[in-house]
């Protein structure tokens, strides 16, 4: 039998043995899986020598081989499930810049479980300090959502990022302690006792690296501007495939930001492509749409079906493929009093409960700028859920990047100057 086949068989056998170990642990008269409690507590794990001999042998084999880390199941260990969920949320945010409300439903259930476990431990002596736990919970619930809401109001965070930070404030009322093979994580202390703050600061540090990337990219392309640290140039022909805000244009005649999601909604409503819009600007500026099409939510349409993250913009918009000539076969009305039919567009979005941040006047200015210029400056919409997820993993394992970084700088200064 070949080496790879033997390896696969051995892996399967070890998996079956591990399942037997877990089954035996769960169904013994006294469970060997316990919450995080003080070793001096009366609630001690059942001694290994009381287990069935076969389970003792298999457990010793797995632990010696490193297949089973030396760790006990605690509420903080259960909280690690959140990492997998946030990785999935980061994938959704990258694909569509949307994390829909359905994503949070199972996580709220998990939150109730771990908080109920914590609450049960509050009544057990020598387990969790009741006063400290409740104080951390109260401060975390008061401070973290307030900071997240302020950042959301300032258009720094998106709605999903706001929900994520509020959820983390409840899910991690204090800094977790996870011990694996004698090592307790995180290894570096946080900025405060509010674990969600440590995660947020880590995410901001990671996201700031994108500003550096934009600056270097613009310098390499010789695109020097006062906004080169937060925006980059794109051709207008590809705008409908991007995420973010149009913040400036070469002729400098764009007083307001113009959300590309709004542009995408407008194109869907009229059933046209960006090429149609730019090639026939005068026509669309002075006419109502012959047919008002259904719209999505402004996100990019996706053919990939995921359980929670498929785009709501999946529909047939009847886009005209040939931008060279457009002959209206349906009589249209002159809308010189409403250029680009912007007022009608905002009325339609309100009727469909779709939020559009721009006023009709701002929409007209944005469309005028797009059709006058071949390139515009776009401030990309960073999928903040991605650095937030990476920041969560770092906070759970290493700790605070800010604290670790300042300690490293301090040690470097001492070594160099003293």
Q: What is the pLDDT along the chain (418 residues), one digit of tens a residue?
A: 444 444 444 444 444 444 444 444 433 333 333 333 333 333 344 444 454 554 445 445 544 544 445 556 778 888 889 999 999 999 988 887 888 888 999 999 998 998 888 888 776 655 556 677 777 788 888 888 899 899 888 878 888 899 999 999 999 988 888 888 888 889 888 888 889 999 999 999 999 888 899 899 999 988 888 888 888 899 998 998 888 888 877 656 666 788 898 999 999 899 899 999 999 999 999 988 888 888 876 666 554 555 444 444 433 344 444 444 444 444 444 446 789 999 999 998 888 888 888 889 889 988 988 998 888 889 888 888 999 999 999 999 999 999 988 888 888 888 888 7
Enter the tokens of residue 86: 């946030």
What are the b/e assignments for 168-205, b being 16+ CB within 10 Å?
A: bbbbbbbbbebbeeeeebbebebbbbbbbbbbbbbbbb
Q: Pick from 119, 127, 168, 128: which is nearest to 147 by CA?
A: 168
Q: Is the dihedral of CA 43, 45, 47, 50 positive or negative?
A: positive
Domain chopping of the chain, boundaries:
3-65, 75-209+385-417, 251-372
- Give the 3-state secondary structure of residue 224: coil
Rounding to the nearest 10 degrees, give the CA dihedral for residues 171, 172, 176, 181.
Answer: 30
Asked whether 389 and 176 are in contact (CB, 8 A), the reply is no
The whole-angstrom separation of Cα 77 and Cα 177 is 9
CATH architecture of 75-209+385-417: Up-down Bundle (1.20)
Radius of gyration of the chain (CA): 28
């Amino acid at each position: 039998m070949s080496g790879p086949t033997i390896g696969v068989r051995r892996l399967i056998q070890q998996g079956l043995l591990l399942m037997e170990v877990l089954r035996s642990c769960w169904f013994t008269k006294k469970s060997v899986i316990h919450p995080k409690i003080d070793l001096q507590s009366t609630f001690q794990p059942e001694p290994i020598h009381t287990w069935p001999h076969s389970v003792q042998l298999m457990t010793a084999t797995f632990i010696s081989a490193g297949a089973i880390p030396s760790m006990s199941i605690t509420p903080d260990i259960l909280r690690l499930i959140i990492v997998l969920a946030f990785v999935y949320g980061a994938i959704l945010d990258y694909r569509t810049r949307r994390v829909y409300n359905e994503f949070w439903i199972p996580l709220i259930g998990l939150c109730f479980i771990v908080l109920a476990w914590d609450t049960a431990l509050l009544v057990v002596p020598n387990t969790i300090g009741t006063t400290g736990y409740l104080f951390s919970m109260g401060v975390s619930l008061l401070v973290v959502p307030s900071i997240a809401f302020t950042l959301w109001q300032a258009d720094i965070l998106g709605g999903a990022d706001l929900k994520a930070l509020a959820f983390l404030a409840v899910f991690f009322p204090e800094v977790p302690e996870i011990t694996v093979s004698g090592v307790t994580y995180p290894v570096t202390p946080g900025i405060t006792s509010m674990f969600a703050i440590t995660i947020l600061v880590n995410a901001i540090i990671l996201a700031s690296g994108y500003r550096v990337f934009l600056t270097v990219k613009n310098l390499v392309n010789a695109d020097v501007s006062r906004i080169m640290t937060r925006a980059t140039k794109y051709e207008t022909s590809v705008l409908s495939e991007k995420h973010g805000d149009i913040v400036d244009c070469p002729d400098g005649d764009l007083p307001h930001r113009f959300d590309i999601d709004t542009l995408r909604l407008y194109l869907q409503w009229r059933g046209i492509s960006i090429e149609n819009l730019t090639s026939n600007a005068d026509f669309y500026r002075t006419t109502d749409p012959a047919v008002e099409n259904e719209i999505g939510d402004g996100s990019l349409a996706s053919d990939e079906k995921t359980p929670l993250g498929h785009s709501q913009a999946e529909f047939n918009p009847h886009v005209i493929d040939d931008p060279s000539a457009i002959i209206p076969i349906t009589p249209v009305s002159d809308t010189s009093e409403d250029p680009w039919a912007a007022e009608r567009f905002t009325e339609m979005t309100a009727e469909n409960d779709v939020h559009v941040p721009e006023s009709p006047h701002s929409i007209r200015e944005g469309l005028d700028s797009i059709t006058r210029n071949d390139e515009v400056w776009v401030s990309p919409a960073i999928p903040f859920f991605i650095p937030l997820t990476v920041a969560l993993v770092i906070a759970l394992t290493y700790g605070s990047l800010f604290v670790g970084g300042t300690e490293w700088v301090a040690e470097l200064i001492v070594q160099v100057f003293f």
